[in-house]
A = this chain, B = another copy of it.
Amino acid sequence: MEKNIVIGVDLGGTRIKLGAVNEKGNIIKDLNIASEAELGPEAVIKNIIKGAKELINCGLFPKESVRGVGIGAPGSVDIDGSTVKYPPNFPNWGVVHLGEEVSKGLDKILVAVDNDANAAAAGESKFGAGKEYSNFLLLTLGTGVGGGIIIDNKVFRGVTGAGAELGHVSIDYKGVPCKCGNIGCIEAYVGQKYFSQRTIEQLKDYPNSKIIELVNGDLSKIEPYIIYKAAQLGDEFAIKALAEYGFYLGIAIASFINIFDFELVIVGGGISAAGDFIFEPMRKTAKERVLSVHKNKFKIVPAQLGNQAGILGAAALVP
């Protein structure tokens, strides 16, 4: 019989994924339910509590063996590990003491909340590519670029909980405007829309690229996945576009290694599936640019948790 169980909750704008996770990082049972974010925070909280109860009472382990609930939430989470502020795609949310409310609904069980990038870092630390390391950085590639910093096996959150925004480090102070208001943030080079837009512009010079074929000439349909697919088909422009993507990340990673002196950087999320198309140029650029003392001392590796990252990361937040 399993013991020492944690409920991991991956809170999204449309779906909530929940899992009962054991010490080894196996998901014993999971659930996928509607968030009903449009109904406001009370509905979301009710849904989380309902889902967690269902898992706690699933009968695959004693109820008493559940030692806590971890929630990975979008948006900004306070240093208190409970309060979620203005998450994107959650209308009428504002400032909600999510951890506290969920705990109330579950007999005051221990609840730990953090943003999804920090949760991903916690997950890779406990169950994934960072298991053997006490210190590492994580980048998650998606619409934006999330960051996680693990110092001495703990998530580093800064003073207010808003730290580790590694996507908002400028690599060119007079470069591409970022929607955060800054200029040249790495997110403005490798965030999904920025990358797709840049590719569309560059395609003018590559009228024979397979990318155009893959979207049947409708350039508005271009997204990172299509570019990757074209690269797999041997399309030279697509390979070049992904290499440029890796190059930009490598620049930022070199700066991060000079700051942190860490030996591991984990890169996960959507387009990281493109593998060596982006990892090789990323490694090359980072190695060329770091201080000489670091040149042969760091690794850049893909995240390991894949589809389970959301639930396992959330579960790993529980201390």
A residues near B (Cβ < 8 Å) are: 76, 135, 147, 149, 151, 156-166, 168-175, 180-184, 248, 251, 254-255, 258-263, 288-294, 297
Contact = CB atoms under 8 A, between A and B. Distances in A.
Given A161-B261, A164-B259, A169-B255, 13 more contacts: A135-B158, A151-B156, A160-B293, A162-B293, A165-B261, A169-B258, A170-B251, A172-B172, A172-B184, A181-B288, A181-B289, A182-B291, A259-B259
- Overall SS of chain A's interface: loop
Contacts of A184: 171-172
Contacts of A171: 170-173, 184
B76 A182 contact: no
B289 A163 contact: no
A94 to B, nearest CB: 15
A277 B25 CA distance: 55
12 contacts: A147-B259, A149-B259, A160-B297, A162-B261, A164-B259, A165-B291, A168-B291, A172-B174, A173-B248, A180-B292, A182-B289, A182-B290
Contacts of A162: 261, 291, 293-294
B182 A261 contact: no
Nearest to A85: B293
A261 B163 contact: yes
Given A76-B293, A254-B182, A261 B173 contact: no
**Which 5 pairs of residues, A with B, have the shortest CB-CB distance?**
A158-B261, A163-B261, A169-B255, A165-B258, A168-B258
A251 to B, nearest CB: 4
B159 A263 contact: yes
Contacts of A293: 76, 160, 162
Contact of A260 (B158, B182, B183, B263): B158
Contacts of A262: 158-159
